[in-house]
Amino acid sequence: MPSVVIPLVQTPPFALIALAVIQGIPVSWDTESGETGQASYGEIKGAEAVRQELEKGIDGKEIPLPPLPTLLAANSSFQEVSAVLDALDDYLSYRTYFAGAKFGFGDATIWGTIRGNNSAIGSIKKPGRPHLSRWFNHVETLPVPQNSLKTFQQARSEMDKGKKTKRLETVDVVLPNAVKGKVVVRFAPEPSGFLHIGHLKAAILNRFLADQYQGKFILRFDDTNPLKEEGEFEDAIKEDLDMIEIGFDKVVHTSDHFEKIQEITEQLIRQGDAFMDDTDGETVKEQRRAEIPSKNREASIEDNLARFKEMLKGSDEGKKWSLRAKIDYQHKNGTMRDPVVYRYVEGSHHITGTKYKAYPMYDLACPIIDHLDGVTHALRANEYYARHEQYQWFLEKLGFPKIEIFDFSRVDFVYTVLSKRKLKFLVEKGVVNGWDDPRFPTVRGIRSRGMTVQGLKNYILGQGASQAQLQLEWDGIWTVNKKVIDPVAPRYWAIAEDKAVPVIVVDYKDGEVAVEKPLHKKNPEIGNKKLFLSDMLLVEQEDAASFGDTEEITAMDWGNVFVSNKKTNLNGEVESLEFKLHLEGDFKKTSKKIHWLSAPSTQNALVPVTLIEYDYLITKKKLEENDNLEDIINPKTEYRVKALASAEVASLKKWDIIQFERKGYYICQGTKDAEGRMEFGFIPDGRLQTITLKATPAVEKPKVAGAPKGSWGKPGSTKPATSAAAATSSGDSASSDGTRILLSNGSTGFKIPVKSGMFESDKI
């Protein structure tokens, strides 16, 4: 009996649970996958088994589900959800169930998909969709949905009982068939760009597991495409790994083994497991999709070897050919349909120059080099899951020992560009100042933004080796980072220069006096700073505007004062005010605690600074492959405020992290603006206001009608791509068996097949 393992997240895939319940498939829960988000079916253990059992149970009599105007998924926007719910409501206007005469698979998938979308579950209970509301309320009383909810609630309750209060900062991972001292793992970036946050999980997990099993960690540069790769990127990747304190035991290149790869590839050809093909690329794609064999698939071994050698020479004839693995052109796994694995590339390699004219592709090179380098466990992002079968096929055909594959999900964040090509575009267009720009998701970019090495590692290890493919909000990683910087960040003050308010302390007569104050009240080891007391102060305009006449407030690190003689201009802005000391006052009884600075003087030279707050580079939450990047680039991503800061900040160095009290955490950028002001970048702390998009979000384009694969929550399901607009012809038609087609809104809407012996009447 198959089983399914569901991630115990806040909003689980109820559709999959319901389908398993219907078929009596056992459901167990993965409590290590986090508490938010939703896993896609491809990453859920046992989801494929549910799909296969489901297919066995369908006899072809179940009515197809309705076409939809857009995809309904866990992260669908409110507008998308509304359109889908309206369509479903129309569809139910003449029906009790979606799946026919009784509750069936279709109802289970639709109920579960709605249950798994927070916007949908909220909207469905509001008036305006009577048919859908009637159906949903009824379905929730039936055994399948009730059992699905019950199993989730029980699992959630058990997890909450045993929940630990502190976050783990290690990874509880057991590598299959691992022997201490003999584990070898590798991190294999392509030297075609700088490392970004999407790569870091692989690097950190590999290093951690190598240490955990007292094994070796190899840094391997996958340099099989000379058109993309440059030597400078290799140096940059090494620097980035050093920056986040990731060491490696040795450095290798795929190009170290080009000769050996050629020999092994010839072996594949001699075995009849590879063939040369001169079919153009587009035709190859179409044939693989249509499961059609290449015209060259059955060419003789001699012809294939001759053509392979011509390709390696780079002759005019050889340039026309590429090598394809001869696996199974009709395989259910598309990656197994005779993939291209070796091709001619015209260009100079940054290490081997023009010595080679043809290069192996990653799918072929990876298993061969893993074997040659002695890799025992290949950690791969689960975006390569479909290629696992192909990877093991090469090992088996070449007679190499099995290498264990361990899956994990890549880290992906909202409003974030991770494509190297698109990141390069942003650099070349001057949208950012370089690959280390604080707005960039590169390693050096997020370090410039204020992310610490320890915060980064804690967050990645806290994620563990989860396989749930989630698009994460930025609050989690910045919250973890705050826990690292808060105990050690020295505290300073800064006053925004714009409309800063001068204050006279009327009863202070001691002149300008410097007193010692701790840089961090909870951590005396950080040291002390000088605070100047005087009769002339500066306070923020926003604070001054909030003071009432004669109000008692607390001037931090000095004492209580009474406010008086507040003067404002015609615009209501405060121009000046006076303080009268009340140092014996109780600071616990005041509602306002303000920071301040003594007015600049020869002894107290305040430092002109620029405080920079950043916004996301794009205004769309999830970047799709076919999005035009220029359409969603954020027009304003820097918000600058000129300020005067405590004199001690002048000695800060690049990437020193501090807190400007009552403003937030900042990182010294080590740069100055055009006016010579030191620049400090704001560091988000995980609170909503620090990670919310400031710009207007991009308007989501309507999606093409017809639900894509899996859109109903059924693993591997694909619904008809017919749009409602296709059913706009007025009137109805009847087939030979008496089935008439009605439209849900009379002359428009969904087509509804109706078979009835009732007589026809005129339309009203």
pLDDT at 84: 84
Query: What Cα–Cα distance (Å) separates residue 477 from each residue in 178, 197, 460?
Result: 31, 11, 9
Dihedral angle computed from the Cα positions of residues 755, 757, 760 and 761, in that order, rounded to the nearest 10 degrees: -110
Sequence-distant (6+) residues with CB within 8 A of 175 are 183, 209, 213, 377, 404, 406
- Mapped onto helix, strand or coil, the DSSP state of residue 530 is strand
Q: In whole angstroms, how far apart are CA 84 and each of 146, 209, 368, 378, 579?
A: 24, 45, 48, 41, 62
Provide the strand spans (E) within 637-755: 638-645, 657-660, 664-672, 678-683, 739-743, 751-755
Partnered with residue 564 across adjacent β-strands are 578
3-class SS shares of the chain: helix, strand, coil, % to 5: 35, 20, 45
**Domains (ranges, CATH) in the chain?**
4-163 (1.20.1050.130), 184-408 (3.40.50.620), 491-623+631-690 (2.40.240.10)
Mean pLDDT by 10 residues, the chain (764 residues): 54 66 62 44 48 46 64 68 85 84 79 76 77 88 82 68 40 82 95 89 92 95 90 91 92 95 97 96 94 96 97 96 96 94 94 95 95 94 86 96 88 90 92 94 95 92 73 91 96 95 95 94 93 96 94 96 96 95 94 96 94 96 87 95 96 97 97 96 95 87 46 39 38 56 65 62 57
3-state secondary structure of 529: strand
Instruction: Classify residue 132 as exposed, middle or buried by CB count within 10 Å of its CB (0-12, 13-18, 19+).
Output: buried
pLDDT at 417: 93
Q: How far apart are CA 516 and CA 463, in angstroms?
A: 43
In the block, residue with structure tokens 């909202």: 414
- Sign of the CA dihedral with 321 first, then 326, 332, and 334 last: negative
Q: Is the dihedral of CA 52, 56, 60, 62 positive or negative?
A: negative
What local confidence, expressed as pLDDT, does residue 644 receive?
Answer: 97
* Residue 737 near residue 754, CB atoms below 8 Å: no
Instruction: Give the single-character DSSP code of 125.
Output: T
Q: What does each C-alpha distance from 652 to 98, 608, 667 come to in angstroms?
A: 66, 13, 10
Residue 538 confidence (pLDDT): 97
Tokens standing for residue 660 = 């400007």
Instruction: State residue 732's pLDDT score.
Output: 47
pLDDT at 711: 39
With 0-12 CB in 10 A as exposed, 13-18 as middle and 19+ as buried, what is 163?
A: exposed
Give the amino acid at 265: T
**The residue type at 566:** K
Dihedral sign of CA atoms 701, 702, 703, 704 in order: negative
CA distance 68 to 91: 10
Q: What pLDDT is stored for residue 57 in this prediction?
A: 43
Rounded-to-integer distance, Cα 445 and Cα 169, Å: 24
* Cβ-based burial of 353 (10 A; exposed 0-12, middle 13-18, buried ≥19): exposed
Return the residue matching tokens 């079916």: 41
Q: List the end-to-end C-alpha distance of the chain, in Å, as a whole number.
A: 55
Helices (H), 416-547: 420-428, 443-449, 453-463, 475-485, 541-546
Distance CA 414, CA 587 (A): 42
Query: Which residues partner with 613 through β-bridges?
Result: 639
* Dihedrals phi, psi of 503, to nearest 5 degrees: -125, 135
Count, residues in the chain:
764
CA–CA dist 89, 97 (Å, integer): 11
- C-beta contacts of 264-271 below 8 A and 24+ residues apart: 264/368, 264/398, 265/308, 265/323, 265/341, 265/342, 265/360, 265/364, 266/305, 266/308, 267/398, 268/325, 268/397, 268/398, 269/301, 269/304, 269/305, 269/308, 269/323, 270/301, 270/305, 271/397
* Distance in angstroms (rounded) separating the CA atoms of residues 505 and 532: 13
The pLDDT of residue 146: 84
**8 A C-beta contact, residue 720 and residue 740:** no
Q: What is the pLDDT of residue 55?
A: 46
Question: Do the beta carbons of residue 184 and residue 216 sit within 8 Å?
Answer: yes
Instruction: Specify the pLDDT at position 56.
Output: 47
DSSP string, 47-111: HHHHHHHHHHH--S-SPPPPP-SS---TT--HHHHHHHHHHHHHHGGG-S-SSSSS--HHHHHHH
